[in-house]
Amino acid sequence: MVEIELDGQKVEVAEGSMVMHAAEKAGTYIPHFCYHKKLSIAANCRMCLVEVEKAPKPMPACATPVTQGMIVRTKSDKAIAAQKSVMEFLLINHPLDCPICDQGGECQLQDLAVGYGGTQSRYEEEKRVVFHKEVGPLISMEEMSRCIHCTRCVRFGQEVAGAMELGMSHRGEHAEIETFLGQTIDSELSGNMIDICPVGALTSKPFRYNARTWELSRRKSVAAHDSSGANLVVQVKNNQVMRVVPLENEEVNECWIADRDRFSYEALNGGDRLTQPMLKQGGEWKTVDWQTALEYVANGLRNIQRDHGANSIGALVSPHSTVEELYLAGALMRGLGSDNIDHRLRHAEFGASEGVRTLGTSIASLSTLQRVLVVGSNLRKDHPLFALRVRHAVRHGAQLNVITSPAAFSHADAWAMPVVQAVLADASAWAQTLADVAAAIAAEKGVAAPVAGNATAQAQAIAKSLLGGERKAVLLGNAAAHAANASSLLALANWIAEQTGATVGYLTEAANT
């Protein structure tokens, strides 16, 4: 640990930390734009300049490593003067169009300009204008003149999403953030660029000009598109959902959400959505009131029960339903005298004691894995937030092995992360592939294999990978959970995990992790 003095307060931080980290630990706010706790340090904006004793000039807090006995002043005249100078520089080309900007009211530049900006500008020349860019249906880059070149969006693509879709071209005041060769932004996590943009350069196209932030009421919620259970804040105006943003939870989704969780609210307001009960009469659908519809369904169930018996009635409920909805569906069926109720949709095999499918470990621990074997999943598309954590682990040295279908791994960059070994085969061959891996592990450890297998070169490579490292996981995807030989896949996965010290879990679509 290193001890420094920050504004007269003694602070202990880990060696290698930056002054910004010490300030966060001490509860001292240092103004900044380019710094983000989940991204690498760029030191582009210089807004975090602070006074460091014995340093010849103000130093950027985000990029200045702490040293033993360092004395830092964040509120001295020298530091404040430097920060005000940077703010003046940043506002030279900014259009100052807050009244029409979607970021107005929650803009970092707006907030800091109040504290560090001048009452008037000394810049009298014409401001530069950046031509708008078309990057797809989700992100608006219509007002890129607002951009202050913090490169948060660029670093997010490289480091978190795994795909560098944005970059900075040219230099100096001619620098622009843009896609390569006019391409669109297609990442399944692209909406997070809107959140981390500290100004109104990147805004949400579906939300554009629909409401101001202070008009919205907020409700906490949980994403229902997969089993990650990402925490959300649903923002509502006039009983209509206007926007969905992430609610920070380090144990689940950190400060990110997938695009399908962020933008799927548009379906709530779709013109073709069924909003009233309907009955088919004379071959045509007629709108009726709820009382009529409920009586019709109740009478129909009673008639079937009377004429054919309770066992002729069954219910298939969605695994995405809430616990309350599932309980009520079960109570309804049992009230009619039927036990025919199930949530296992699209299953090809039904085990006698299937149990609850879980991830087998905490979501946060995926970021610290050293060896991973994924079976039967397109991880990036099926579970974007899990893929984000596995990608973080891979960037820090983890080895990822994959057994899946060719469609789920169409090209080398399909998962936006390096893969050590990828065995591409149809679902019917996954059990044999796992048997081959088990045979390779058995040969390596000198034990008997659970089933007959051929230790191919790829199987040996996967076995060698899984036998190394300390924190490991074997993850069965949704396709593996629904496969006709799902029980065989689970048995082999359990044996491999037992021999390698890994955990076994399911990457299922339902919210059951």
- Whether the Cβ atoms of residue 267 and residue 258 lie closer than 8 Å to each other: no
Q: Retrieve residue 58's tokens.
A: 């103000």
**Sign of the torsion angle spanned by Cα atoms 82, 83, 88, 90:** positive
Q: How many whole angstroms separate alpha carbon 443 and alpha carbon 445?
A: 6
3-state secondary structure of 348: coil
Residue 352: pLDDT band with limits 50, 70, 90: very low
Q: What is the pLDDT of residue 210?
A: 93
Whether 285 shows a pLDDT value over 50: the answer reads yes
Q: What is the pLDDT of residue 323?
A: 84
Q: What is the pLDDT of residue 512?
A: 41
Q: How many whole angstroms separate alpha carbon 454 and alpha carbon 81?
A: 71
Q: What is the pLDDT of residue 355?
A: 60
Lowest mean pLDDT of 103-107, 439-443, 479-483, 502-506, name the range: 479-483
Residue 507: Cβ within 10 Å count: 27
3-state secondary structure of 180: helix
Whether 365 shows a pLDDT value over 60: the answer reads yes
Q: How far, in Å, are 65, 244, 321 from residue 333 at the CA level? A: 64, 35, 16
| 222-250 pLDDT tens trace | 998 888 889 999 999 999 999 999 999 99
Regarding predicted confidence, which is higher, 411 or 150? Answer: 150
Q: What is the pLDDT of residue 271?
A: 83
Residue 197: Cβ within 10 Å count: 25
- pLDDT average, residue stretch 328-347: 88
Q: Retrieve residue 270's tokens.
A: 């779709």
Q: What is the pLDDT of residue 124?
A: 86
Query: How many residues appear in the chain?
Result: 513
- Whether the Cβ atoms of residue 369 and residue 393 lie closer than 8 Å to each other: yes
Residue 350: pLDDT band with limits 50, 70, 90: low
Q: What is the pLDDT of residue 402?
A: 95
Q: Using a cut of 0.75, tell me whether the model's pTM lies above it.
A: yes
On average, the pLDDT of the chain sits at 91
Q: What is the pLDDT of residue 511?
A: 44
Give the DSSP letter of residue 337: T
Q: What is the pLDDT of residue 100?
A: 92
Residue 79: pLDDT band with limits 50, 70, 90: very high
3-state secondary structure of 61: coil
Q: Retrieve residue 169's tokens.
A: 């071209």
Please choose, from the candidates 28, 87, 81, 19, the residue with its C-alpha nearest in 3D space to the C-alpha of residue 53. Answer: 19
3-state secondary structure of 82: helix
Percent of the chain with pLDDT over 90: 77
Residue 123: pLDDT band with limits 50, 70, 90: confident
Q: Which residues of 27-62 are buried (b: 16+ CB within 10 A; e: fewer)?
A: ebebbbbbbbeebeebbbbbbbbbbbeeeeebbbbb
- pLDDT average, residue stretch 173-177: 91
Q: What is the pLDDT of residue 510?
A: 55
Q: How far, in Å, are 26, 300, 304 from residue 307 at the CA level? A: 73, 11, 5
Q: Retrieve residue 323's tokens.
A: 């616990």
Please choose, from the candidates 372, 392, 323, the residue with its C-alpha nearest in 3D space to the C-alpha of residue 477. Answer: 372
